[in-house]
Chain A
Amino acid sequence: MSTATQSSQDQRISPNLTENTDYCKKVMGNSKDLMIRPLQCLHKWPSVMLYIDGMVDVQIVNHSILEPLLQTRELPDFSAENEHLSYLQNDVLVASSVILIDEIKDILDALLAGFAVVLLEGSNQGLKIAAAGWEDRAVGEPISQTVVRGPMEGFNENLRTNTGLIRKRIRDPHLWIEEREIGRVSNTRVAVVYLEHIVDQEVVKELRRRLDEIDIDAILESGYIEELVQDKTGTIFPTVYNSERPDTVCAALLEGRVAIIIDGTPFVLLVPALFVHFFQSPEDYYQRADISSLIRMIRYLAFFIALLAPSFYIAITTFHQEMLPTNLLISLAAQREGVPFPAFIEAILMELTYEILREAGIRIPKTVGQAVSIVGTLVIGQAAVDAGVVSAAMVIIVSITAISSYVIPENGLSISVRILRFVLMILAAAFGFYGILMVLLITVTHLCSLRSFGVSYMSPFAPYIGKDLKDTIFRVPWARMKTRPLSTGTANETRQADKKTKR
């Protein structure tokens, strides 16, 4: 609510039309997109229709509002003044939602939300008529989380479309959607979605509390909410999951998690988020369990490679040469001949080059992207080795590290890995394996101390919950997924009735 309207809070709509329109014009600073259309309602009552151009569907305005309002018809007798509006609301207007409003502030709110407002001369009420219709991206394939097998639908920027996509998948009245507006200026609609009979009510209560505490001018993306509601700010690990896939969100809802949909972004937040969630790809559940389990394990392996490969290389080649087989050592030594930098500088150089290339690859316009990727591969690849600036082994290490970091399905965790990788490299260069061990110890301790909405981040490993292990490092076949994860504190454990499904 802007300062101008704050003074006129609780101010009723004036019976004088010009007063109202002047007020709206003044508050909105004569913005050109505020449309004021005077008309004679049913050729009898002087009135005015207001809407904001670009936020309403002109078709709706023409056919559902203007056409009925401008017809001539037999009118019944009216006793009270306000019956004019009720008559319009009940008998004339054909729009889906027509609501009476009393206050002048409601006019502005309604206009800015894409309603058309009709005011009658002599009435201290108004009508807001749903006519919202702005350009939206169509529901398309999710870009950041792709699968080979599985639904190809992704969320878009419209909150209503997004809740629809979820409703479409879970046709159950227990799917509750709470909406609120956050952001003093932006008034962004934020929806909290959960399955009432499965979710842990404490989590919902806590989430409500945290959302209500937010006092910020605008929410433009779910990242704002993510940072504002997470448990601990001093961590590099993500404690809120995000997804642009409706199927992922539905699966999470069914496991007793809560989704936060923010208007204007296709990325939906999911809480609580645990460490194991970041290794789960929706495809794991669509493919057969055996291959899913294998890929899960490879994902965990890739996580450790992405985290440790450069620091291990540094530690082994500068401190623990005796650990390598003789022939490998000689081969590595041969590659390092003539390289002017210590292994650490070499590794940092290559990792930085890679990070720069990666960042450039994202920012660069698509038309010149080709050129950069060619230069990039040449820089980190052949030319650097041929020029003797870096050793071939280092190129292999950096490449495998880079590729491995993309195996983690959710981007949030691979960002933590990238940060931690540099810390590990520095400590490995200073203390060898001892340094690596120190960082890992501190990291594990830190991970165990983290919580996401009261749920231990490392569960079901620590605290150990045996029943939940069925969907962690491996995924058991669906026939064996009898219970929902207990770590999220679900009130409804049973996923499948306990009868034999084996044939």
Chain B
Amino acid sequence: MNKCLQLILSFAVLLPLLTGCWDRQELNELGIMLGLGVDKDGDMIKVSAQVVVPNEVSSKSGGGKGTPVTQYQASAPTLFEAIQKLTESSPRRIFMAHIRILVYGEEYARKVGIYDVTEALMREPTVRPDYYVMVARNTTASKVLDVMTPLENLPAEKMFNSLDVSTKTWSPTTTVTGDQLMEYILSPGIQPVITGVEVVGNPEKSGHQENIATIKAPARLNSTGLSVFRGDKLIGWLTEDESKGYNYIRNNVVSTISHLPCRKDGYVTFKALRTTTKRSAKVVAGHPVININMKNVSSIGAVECGIKIGSMEVLKELERDSEERLVELMQKSVKSVQRKFHVDIFGFGQEVYHADPKFFKKVEKDWDQYLEDLDVDYKVNVQIKRVGTLDDSFKDQIRE
């Protein structure tokens, strides 16, 4: 008994010494930041924080009087100074653990580079690195975070979800989380790519409740295209087709819809059910060759011309056409990146490194030159597994 008491007493004395972090914060003392925007402000960094207004979000306590989120801005030489400075205008401490999206202003990404912010956020222990990174195309992050969105009333949540959904069902976008971004910046033989987001429509009252008062929101957020980085600086944008090609090569496509011109007129629509791409490299006599092997399982979505979809020959033909189109798509993407940007966003260098590390070490410094006339071999295998609930198209049976 006495021994037990001694033990408890010694625990009681030692416990406070061991804690190290007395950081009790009540929920209603926190400003939960969901979106973080980074812009250039002269020499300084301008931080825009999209903070939740819990009262407005809850369905019970009032709501509807104000906006569900508010935005605080502050400028300072470094990120954390700026974030701490937000408290000048915010009544609550900014809580960073729940960042859903990080938006870089295009100007900031082009001129300053994303390294500083990435480093700071990865070092900060309270921030979960599972936020998505985006680039505000042709605009500033502050404006992107100043748009009210219907359906999902927290704009940051909307951006997170819509990027998530479009990546899973539509090939031109891709998600990059904080830790992936750091990996892309650091790994040899690959350069980062970040999906862009733009404000379309009339941004005049984008941050106003009125923006969601109409069926068609005047200002909307669109995630479009991929931005290409050299190191940590943005150097340009891929078109939609190039983005698709990129995602096919990087094995980012889960399912998507694509079309193929018919032999006669109109299109045949394909639904990709599963797509897997394997990249590999070989170094033949000091000359690297990349092999891209893609397997695609599709079903037919719609047939606009009167082809006999029920016959095997037609299907085989369609498979062949589709294969050709996919090769073309990837080829175009690679070619244009080689021509326009001279950076290895596809991770071909990584493959070469895996295949022949010694060789890659030798050429790592001028890998971008190697990239320009890199031989890429495409092998695509498309299987059409299903044709939907109709057999042949009934276009020919329409009565005039």
CB-CB contacts of A323-356 with B at 8 A, as 1s and 0s?
0001101111111111100110000000000000
Question: Are A326 and B54 closer than 8 Å at their CB atoms?
Answer: no
Question: Are B15 and A431 closer than 8 Å at their CB atoms?
Answer: yes
Question: Are A438 and B26 closer than 8 Å at their CB atoms?
Answer: no
A442 contacts B by Cβ under 8 Å: yes
Binds A, one of B28-36, B82-90, B204-212: B28-36
Closest approach, in angstroms, between the C-beta of B99 and any C-beta of chain A?
9
Contacts A322-B98, A322-B126; is A438 near B11 (CB within 8 Å)? Answer: yes
A300 contacts B by Cβ under 8 Å: no
Contacts A317-B26, A318-B24, A322-B98; is A337 near B52 (CB within 8 Å)? Answer: no
Question: Are A337 and B55 closer than 8 Å at their CB atoms?
Answer: yes
B25 contacts A by Cβ under 8 Å: yes
Residue numbers in A under 8 Å from B11 (CB-CB): 438, 442
Question: Are B58 and A234 closer than 8 Å at their CB atoms?
Answer: no
Query: In whole angstroms, how far apart are the Cα atoms of A338 and B61 in the complex?
Result: 10
B76 contacts A by Cβ under 8 Å: no
A474 contacts B by Cβ under 8 Å: no
Question: Are A339 and B24 closer than 8 Å at their CB atoms?
Answer: no
Residue numbers in B under 8 Å from A435 (CB-CB): 15
Closest approach, in angstroms, between the C-beta of A436 and any C-beta of chain B?
12
Query: In whole angstroms, how far apart are the Cα atoms of A166 and B24 in the complex?
Result: 57
Query: In whole angstroms, how far apart are the Cα atoms of A431 and B12 in the complex?
Result: 12
Contacts A329-B32, A333-B32, A442-B8; is A318 near B61 (CB within 8 Å)? Answer: no
A321 contacts B by Cβ under 8 Å: yes
Residue numbers in A under 8 Å from B24 (CB-CB): 318-319, 429, 432
**A339 nearest in chain B by CB position:** B28
Question: Are A330 and B52 closer than 8 Å at their CB atoms?
Answer: yes
Residue numbers in B under 8 Å from A334 (CB-CB): 54-55, 57-58, 60-61
Query: In whole angstroms, how far apart are the Cα atoms of A342 and B25 in the complex?
Result: 9
Closest approach, in angstroms, between the C-beta of B58 and any C-beta of chain A?
3
> When the two chains form the complex, which single residue of A322, A343, A446 contacts B97, counting CB atoms closer than 8 Å?
A322
B27 contacts A by Cβ under 8 Å: yes
Closest approach, in angstroms, between the C-beta of B28 and any C-beta of chain A?
5
B95 contacts A by Cβ under 8 Å: yes
**A232 nearest in chain B by CB position:** B1
- Tier of interface size on chain A: 20 to 34
Closest approach, in angstroms, between the C-beta of A83 and any C-beta of chain B?
62
A434 contacts B by Cβ under 8 Å: yes
Query: In whole angstroms, how far apart are the Cα atoms of A337 and B55 in the complex?
Result: 7
B6 contacts A by Cβ under 8 Å: no
Closest approach, in angstroms, between the C-beta of B86 and any C-beta of chain A?
18
Q: Among B1, B4, B28, which residue has the most Cβ atoms of chain A within 10 A?
A: B28
Question: Are A333 and B52 closer than 8 Å at their CB atoms?
Answer: yes
Residue numbers in A under 8 Å from B34 (CB-CB): 326
Residue numbers in A under 8 Å from B15 (CB-CB): 431, 435, 438
The count of chain B contact residues (Cβ–Cβ below 8 Å) is 31
Question: Are B27 and A336 closer than 8 Å at their CB atoms?
Answer: yes
> When the two chains form the complex, which single residue of A322, A331, A339, A434 contacts B19, counting CB atoms closer than 8 Å?
A434
Question: Are A321 and B157 closer than 8 Å at their CB atoms?
Answer: no
B366 contacts A by Cβ under 8 Å: no
Query: In whole angstroms, how far apart are the Cα atoms of A338 and B28 in the complex?
Result: 8
Residue numbers in B under 8 Å from A446 (CB-CB): 4
Q: Among B1, B24, B32, B100, which residue has the most Cβ atoms of chain A within 10 A?
A: B24
Query: In whole angstroms, how far apart are the Cα atoms of A321 and B8 in the complex?
Result: 30
Query: In whole angstroms, how far apart are the Cα atoms of A435 and B22 in the complex?
Result: 12
Residue numbers in B under 8 Å from A319 (CB-CB): 23-25
Residue numbers in B under 8 Å from A338 (CB-CB): 28, 55, 61
Closest approach, in angstroms, between the C-beta of A217 and any C-beta of chain B?
26
The A-contacting residues of B in range 155-186, CB under 8 angstroms, are 157
Query: In whole angstroms, how far apart are the Cα atoms of A139 and B55 in the complex?
Result: 59
Closest approach, in angstroms, between the C-beta of A444 and any C-beta of chain B?
14
Closest approach, in angstroms, between the C-beta of B92 and any C-beta of chain A?
10
Closest approach, in angstroms, between the C-beta of A261 and any C-beta of chain B?
31
Query: In whole angstroms, how far apart are the Cα atoms of A332 and B58 in the complex?
Result: 9
Query: In whole angstroms, how far apart are the Cα atoms of A392 and B18 in the complex?
Result: 34
**B160 nearest in chain A by CB position:** A326
CB-CB contacts of A76-108 with B at 8 A, as 1s and 0s?
000000000000000000000000000000000
Residue numbers in B under 8 Å from A442 (CB-CB): 8, 11
Residue numbers in A under 8 Å from B379 (CB-CB): none
Q: Among A234, A334, A336, A438, which residue has the most Cβ atoms of chain B within 10 A?
A: A334
The A-contacting residues of B in range 51-110, CB under 8 angstroms, are 52, 54-55, 57-58, 60-61, 95, 97-98, 100
Residue numbers in A under 8 Å from B295 (CB-CB): none
**B59 nearest in chain A by CB position:** A334
Residue numbers in A under 8 Å from B57 (CB-CB): 330-331, 334
B259 contacts A by Cβ under 8 Å: no
Residue numbers in B under 8 Å from A432 (CB-CB): 24
> When the two chains form the complex, which single residue of B4, B28, B60, B157 contacts A336, counting CB atoms closer than 8 Å?
B28
Question: Are B27 and A333 closer than 8 Å at their CB atoms?
Answer: yes
Question: Are B54 and A342 closer than 8 Å at their CB atoms?
Answer: no
B332 contacts A by Cβ under 8 Å: no
Question: Are B26 and A343 closer than 8 Å at their CB atoms?
Answer: yes
CB-CB contacts of B121-137 with A at 8 A, as 1s and 0s?
00000101000000000
Closest approach, in angstroms, between the C-beta of A371 and any C-beta of chain B?
29
Residue numbers in A under 8 Å from B128 (CB-CB): 322
Residue numbers in A under 8 Å from B30 (CB-CB): 321, 333
Residue numbers in A under 8 Å from B32 (CB-CB): 326, 329-330, 333
Residue numbers in B under 8 Å from A392 (CB-CB): 60
Query: In whole angstroms, how far apart are the Cα atoms of A435 and B14 in the complex?
Result: 12
CB-CB contacts of A287-331 with B at 8 A, as 1s and 0s?
000000000000000000000000000000111011000110111
**A393 nearest in chain B by CB position:** B27
Query: In whole angstroms, how far apart are the Cα atoms of A329 and B32 in the complex?
Result: 9
**A316 nearest in chain B by CB position:** B27
**A314 nearest in chain B by CB position:** B24
Contacts A321-B30, A322-B128; is A331 near B4 (CB within 8 Å)? Answer: no
Question: Are B98 and A329 closer than 8 Å at their CB atoms?
Answer: yes
Query: In whole angstroms, how far apart are the Cα atoms of A330 and B58 in the complex?
Result: 8
Contacts A333-B54, A431-B19, A434-B19; is A326 near B26 (CB within 8 Å)? Answer: no
Closest approach, in angstroms, between the C-beta of A448 and any C-beta of chain B?
13
**B127 nearest in chain A by CB position:** A322
Query: In whole angstroms, how far apart are the Cα atoms of A180 and B280 in the complex?
Result: 88
**A435 nearest in chain B by CB position:** B15
> When the two chains form the complex, which single residue of B1, B27, B97 contacts A332, counting CB atoms closer than 8 Å?
B27
Residue numbers in A under 8 Å from B95 (CB-CB): 321
**A441 nearest in chain B by CB position:** B11
Query: In whole angstroms, how far apart are the Cα atoms of A234 and B7 in the complex?
Result: 14
Query: In whole angstroms, how far apart are the Cα atoms of A318 and B95 in the complex?
Result: 12
Question: Are B23 and A342 closer than 8 Å at their CB atoms?
Answer: no
Closest approach, in angstroms, between the C-beta of B304 and any C-beta of chain A?
42
Q: Among B4, B32, B54, B128, which residue has the most Cβ atoms of chain A within 10 A?
A: B54
CB-CB contacts of A413-448 with B at 8 A, as 1s and 0s?
000000000000000010110110010001000100
Query: In whole angstroms, how far apart are the Cα atoms of A343 and B8 in the complex?
Result: 26
Query: In whole angstroms, how far apart are the Cα atoms of A84 and B61 in the complex?
Result: 94
**A391 nearest in chain B by CB position:** B27
Closest approach, in angstroms, between the C-beta of A339 and any C-beta of chain B?
7
Query: In whole angstroms, how far apart are the Cα atoms of A446 and B34 in the complex?
Result: 44
Question: Are A321 and B97 closer than 8 Å at their CB atoms?
Answer: yes
Closest approach, in angstroms, between the C-beta of B254 and any C-beta of chain A?
23
**B2 nearest in chain A by CB position:** A234
Return 13 A-B CB contacts under 8 Å, by A number: A322-B126, A326-B157, A327-B157, A329-B27, A330-B32, A333-B28, A337-B28, A337-B55, A338-B55, A342-B26, A431-B19, A434-B18, A442-B8
Residue ranges of A at the interface with B (Cβ–Cβ < 8 Å): 232, 234, 317-319, 321-322, 326-327, 329-339, 342-343, 392, 429, 431-432, 434-435, 438, 442, 446
Known: A321-B30, A336-B26, A339-B28; 16 extra A-B contacts, CB below 8 A, are A232-B1, A317-B26, A319-B24, A321-B25, A326-B32, A326-B34, A326-B98, A329-B32, A330-B154, A331-B58, A334-B58, A337-B55, A338-B28, A342-B26, A392-B60, A442-B11
> Which 4 A-B pairs rank lowest in CB-CB distance, beginning with the nearest?
A322-B97, A334-B58, A334-B54, A333-B54
